Amino acid sequence: KGRKSRSSRSSRAGLLFSVSRVDRQLRRGCFAERFGAKAPVFLAAVLQCVTHKTLDMAGKVSKKSKQRRISPAHLQEVMQRSSVLKQLLRGVVSSHHGEAVPQSQRVASPSKKETTRSKKR
């Protein structure tokens, strides 16, 4: 008899987010006595979709500001701009009383070659 190879619920659902982890958190959270087998799959899919859209929008903001990395300031700007995300995360995300997040100024640091040359002298 041929054995079936084991596959995770996430891979069967075609998700990157862990369905088992969401299932465990739902059980530990005592949100309901019982829930269906598809509930953690659906919730993991929704979490993955929201995360994907948020990071996509933050990537566009960081590209617009000519930076290669997404910073917390970019994420916060996305949260402030998007009415859907504002409504979804209402009361969860702290916004520092409406203050703008200060952009960190980059300071030119000496290259490694210059610092090694100055140390040799």
19-74 per-position pLDDT tens digit? 999 999 999 999 999 999 999 999 999 999 999 999 999 999 999 999 999 999 99
Q: Which amino acid is at 38?
A: K
Name residue, tokens 């009415």. Answer: 83
CATH of domain 9-89: 1.10.20.10
Q: Domain limits of the chain?
A: 9-89
Give yes or no for residue 121 having a pLDDT over 70.
no
Q: What is the pTM of this model?
A: 0.70
User: Angle at CA 58, nearest 5°, toward 72 and 108?
Assistant: 55
Comparing 35 with 1, the larger pLDDT belongs to 35
Exposed, middle or buried by CB within 10 Å (0-12, 13-18, 19+), for 19?
Answer: buried
